[in-house]
A = this chain, B = another copy of it.
Amino acid sequence: MRAAVLTGVREVRIEDRPEPEARPGWVVVQVESASLCGTDAHQYDGRIDTPFPRVPGHDFAGRVASAGDGVDESWVGVAVAVKPSLPCGDCPECLSDKPFDCKRKKLIGLWSDGCMTERIAVPVVNLIPTPDGIEPWQASLLEPLAVGLNTVDRLRLLLGETVVVLGQGPIGLALTRLCALSGAGRLIVTDAREAPFAVSRAYGASDCLDVTQVDPRAAVLELTGGAGADTVIETSGYPASSAIVLDLVRKEGKVAHIGWANDLPPLPVIPIMAKTLTVFGIGGNGGRGQYERSLELVRSGRVDLAPMVTHRFSLDDAAEAFEVASSKSGGAIKVLLTP
């Protein structure tokens, strides 16, 4: 069985690997589509420590090929999306049948071999059956939507609020679309590249600010009559973007932080008090139905994932796929891999 393997920083090889086996409670999934996310690119670039050699990848979809002991045989042949983290199996939550409350979940493709291969074994609790009309490439792109849903569920926009989404990578674009669907009025987005703005506009952005050309602070204040936005969502993970969130938001407004990086500047406390702000930290996809609801948003056509997909490669071209995802060359947003 073929697999793409990270053998070192910026080194991807196609290797032959043994077939996976389904332990009790697990299944083997035939991978039909995998997508590359920022974490994959960071592993490739060496910005995330990875125990090489490692088969990367955690965002994928496919079809159940075989089922281990204790798993209902009717799963075999079912088309599925797969949640990206493995419960530890040992903690009180896992032992009392609540594996998704497990606090020691481990990302597939980092702490164990991942999905950039032909077949992979996962616990049956990680599976989400996909309905008719959902294709594998769509089912492999649910993570940014699920993270975005976890965000808008907590922000509870009032109809007509002015929202700023900082950063238009996949999570930023997902939030642009989800805020447009959730009642945002003026919807201002920023990025350091022009490339994603065509998608931003298709998703409902009213104003796209290229931060290499305009000062986003001055621009947002001008667009809001000097008051600041009702809600500001930082998804970029860039220090310069994170540093201005408290300047962009209005008195009594809301701030959400999703973009994650080790070098983000800390938040001063005085403006949080002086402006009577509420700051929401978003740590992931929530794990409480957000995947299932993301599927329905795609199935119903309310979210069209196609504009986000800029590149598709076969598994044999995994090295090129990682290079594109890492460099973001050619206007790359989402890169898909088909085994």
Contacts and interface: CB of A to CB of B under 8 A. Distances in A.
Given A181-B183, A183-B182, A160 B273 contact: no
Interface string A139-182: 00000000001001110101110000000000000000010011
A329 to B, nearest CB: 29
A102 interface: no
A272 interface: yes
Copies of this protein, total: 4
Nearest to A161: B293
Nearest to A251: B103
A319 interface: no
A13 B284 CA distance: 58
A160 B297 contact: yes
A306 interface: no
A60 to B, nearest CB: 22
B160 A293 contact: yes
B279 A279 contact: yes
Contacts of A185: 296-297, 300, 302
Given A258-B273, A278-B280, A279-B279, A296 B160 contact: yes
Interface in A287-307: 293, 296-297, 300, 302
A260 interface: yes
Nearest to A180: B181
Given A182-B183, A275-B281, A268 B266 contact: yes
A260 B273 CA distance: 8
A276 interface: yes
A78 B251 CA distance: 29
A274 interface: yes
A297 B268 CA distance: 34
A198 interface: no
Interface in A82-131: 97, 103
B159 A149 contact: yes
Nearest to A268: B266
14 contacts: A159-B181, A160-B293, A242-B269, A260-B270, A266-B267, A266-B269, A269-B281, A271-B281, A272-B279, A272-B281, A274-B283, A275-B283, A276-B284, A277-B280
